[in-house]
Amino acid sequence: MTAATTPIVEAVDVEKTLGEGAGRVQALRGVSLALKGGELTLLMGPSGSGKTTLLSILGGMLTPTRGTVRLAGETTTGAGPETLARLRRTHVGFVFQSYHLFPTLTAIENVRLVLDVRGEHGEDAPERAAAALATVGLAHKHHAFPRELSGGEQQRVAIARAVVGRTAALFADEPTASLDGDNGRAIMTVLADIAKDPRRAVLVVTHDPRTLPFADRIVRIEDGRIVAEEAGAHAGPAPREPAPNESASPKSVSPKSVSPESVSPESVSPESASPESQGSPHAP
């Protein structure tokens, strides 16, 4: 399933310093990583190791202090805010660690906003937004405001928003953190199905062992450096159901098939939800 093509996103020897004065932190210390189409990569590492910072840089929300990032063939190093906004809008879907839903918009309006920002005002826009919500199991919550949704439901709206635009790069920061077993697996199935497309790459930051069966590749980061890379359970032959006498270890879970192409996957984060506009890759 790995396409030997030009990477969709590529970081070369990236360093990132955050904060000022005594609060200065070198969050990334020479990271090189290429995300190819047709691959779902998991990024794992301790709290504070630089995962969100790396995702924000790969997704064009932050620019590196040193090194090069190429997104769909264009370099983001030294790019201005308008260029970055265009690159994100065109190529990137993002699920933020803390959702970043717009509180005054309903679930379906939060999803529709992505299509509006992309200039996709066609007749099928309402249908696409509805299909994206259906894929995450929220067909019955179109008109709910974020405050009327549980944490897991808000997380699923954020995922619908990330997939509705069918972007080449999809980044998700802890997308299963607030989800129970079934919903977590359903969401990972949506993301893994997107990554079957050789024109699309998915990177998931996670601590959740339930995501392991869906990975083509696992990248480990510690203290701002990539310390290990390994093939994921999903990289080999297709997952199989465990034999009756086999224990249900994460590797033996067989992702069940939800059809994501009933979705019009993708998503660009609304510009105003960009961490850059908040001066930090973190939630407010």
Long-range contact pairs involving 179-188 (C-beta distance under 8 Å, separation at least 24): 179/152, 179/155, 180/152, 181/210, 183/137, 183/152, 183/156, 184/208, 184/210, 184/211, 185/210, 185/253, 185/255, 185/256, 186/136, 186/137, 186/256, 186/258, 187/136, 187/156, 187/159, 188/213, 188/214, 188/255
Residue number, nearest CB to Mg ion: 52
Instruction: Name the residue nearer to ligand ATP (CB basis): 225 or 251.
Output: 225
Site string for Mg ion, 35-54 (x = CB under 5 A): -----------------x--
Q: From ligand ATP, Mg ion, none, which one binds at residue 18 (CB under 5 to 8 Å depending on kind)?
A: ligand ATP
Contacts of 17 (CB under 8 A, 6+ apart): 24, 25, 26, 27, 65
Q: Is 264 in the site for Mg ion (CB under 5 A)?
A: no
Window 255 to 284, contacts with ligand ATP (CB under 6 A): 280-282
Q: Is 19 in the site for ligand ATP (CB under 6 A)?
A: yes
Q: Which stretch binds ligand ATP (CB under 6 A): 51-59, 79-87, 113-121, 123-131?
A: 51-59
Site string for Mg ion, 49-88 (x = CB under 5 A): ---x------------------------------------
Residue number, nearest CB to ligand ATP: 19
Sign of the torsion angle spanned by Cα atoms 240, 241, 243, 245: positive
Binding positions for ligand ATP, rule: CB under 6 A: 18-19, 23, 25, 27, 45, 47-53, 97, 280-282
